[in-house]
Amino acid sequence: MDPNIVVQMLKDNGFKRIKLFESDSYTVSKFAGTDIEVMLGIPNDQLHDLAKDYDNAKDWVKENVSDHHLRLHAFGRYVAVGNEPFLASYYDRYVNDLFPAMQNVQKALNAAGFGNVIKVTVPFNADVYESHSDKPSDGQFRSSLKGQMTSIAKFLRQNKAPILVNIYPFLSLYQSSNFPASFAFFSNDGRKVYDGNIAYSNVFDANYDTLVTALKKIGVPDLKIMVGEVGWPTAGHKYATPDYAQKFYAGLMKRLAANKGTPLRPGKLDVYLFALMDEDQKSIAPGPFERHWGIFTYDGKPKYPLDLSGGGNQNEMLVAAKGVQYLPAQWCVLNPDATNPVGLDDALGYACAYGDCTSLKPGSPCASLDKNWQASYAFNNYYQINDQDVSACDFNGLATVVKTNATRGNCLFPIQIVSDGGRIGGSRGGFMAGVLVLLALWFTL
């Protein structure tokens, strides 16, 4: 999507801070003069070079901070060094690089004159800490990371910077069939976890306070915590639906509006919402829901009512993107003349391998389609991702282009959008798919 349209959508909805996963100058330039605060991101694959050579950190700061400030007048308070670099599935790939990279980047920020206003931080996955009893009071950092986390936490406190943690109640529900569904929400109508005199009614609070305890045990009980990501997907699993997402966000917004905090950290919560829009090119290795975290559809339409004030208005809708342009109104579907088509399974498999068929998964809006319409959905998705190239709607004669909307009930057959002021994007996020689509939004009252 055209980044100018995205920026206007952010302004229309009152979002004041964004978190990027990269620091592309073209993207950051779109926020110049908007009063939207940008947290720049440094990808994990850059950590080693930044850790081994201070000159690399100086170059990064010059190109991504100094130039933005002087030339673009765009600014933010934090630089996120890496993203979930200690994720258990990464094993120890970034363990030895993260802290020295943070030190070098902060040193370079200081040398460039930004040290008092821009601080480095790092978003961690919640798997860096644990509790053997599932009670927050037993929270501690993983033994293999305790030394690193102690050094990093003390460094952040010294620099008056926060630690970021990504908390996903949905994943608790997804990863365990025995997890009580009510505990993933804020409705306070189900299971409670008792920890001494404290009764936890939701996993968000329990997870957050597990980190609070872990920080206390390494001697930094007062370190500021920000939630770097929290969200709920809308397809790819039986619990990944717009209704469940709306329920989760309604509870979260009410909690934020109350400035209630958690039992161990009362007060205001700083929370980034993940994500702005769906992205059809994201890896689905963690699960088929990974492409559906957006609170907006790929073309900037709100998926469900959401009252950002926390007032509970069930009819309040976010402001949709304005000025979105689409490719011609045409769809690629299974050729109706192809009766008992030979090779349909192979064609369907190919379209799904190189397109996005996660909306066909159980619990998703297109899961009830019969095989022929599943093929049509897959063909159309592949066709649109390839910008309606005529060669992308063939499949050995099994497919044909039609002018009649192929959408079936709640199963949307999308049309590709024109992105970036006339340039056609390679996916239904266009230019923004790797940057702004992968952002989080900060909610504040």
Contact by Cβ (8 Å): 231, 168:
yes
Contact by Cβ (8 Å): 188, 400:
no
What is the CA 199 to chain-centroid distance, rounded? 30
Contact by Cβ (8 Å): 193, 200:
yes
DSSP-assigned states of every residue in 206-252: HHHHHHHHHHHHTT-TT--EEEEEE---SSSBTTBSHHHHHHHHHHH
Long-range contacts of 169-175 (CB under 8 A, 24+ apart): 169/202, 169/203, 169/204, 169/207, 169/230, 169/232, 169/248, 170/231, 170/232, 170/233, 170/239, 170/240, 170/248, 170/289, 172/203, 173/239, 174/237, 174/239, 174/240, 174/287, 174/289
Amino acid residing at 146? K
ω into residue 245 within 30 of 0, thus cis?
Answer: no
Catalytic residue, chosen from 130, 229, 279, 290, is 229
Clarify whether 229 is annotated catalytic.
yes
Contacts of 18 (CB under 8 A, 6+ apart): 10, 31, 36, 37, 38, 39, 436, 439, 440, 441, 442
Clarify whether 63 is annotated catalytic.
no
Treating both helix axes as pointing N-terminal to C-terminal, what angle do 344-354 and 371-385 enclose, rounded to 10 degrees?
40
Whole-angstrom Cα distance, residue 1 to residue 325? 9
Contact by Cβ (8 Å): 2, 27:
no
Catalytic residue, chosen from 84, 130, 279, 316, is 84
Whole-angstrom Cα distance, residue 49 to residue 83? 16
Q: Which residue has the tokens 């201070």?
A: 54
**Quick one: which of 294, 23, 41 has its CA closest to 31?**
23
Q: Which residues are catalytic?
A: 84, 229
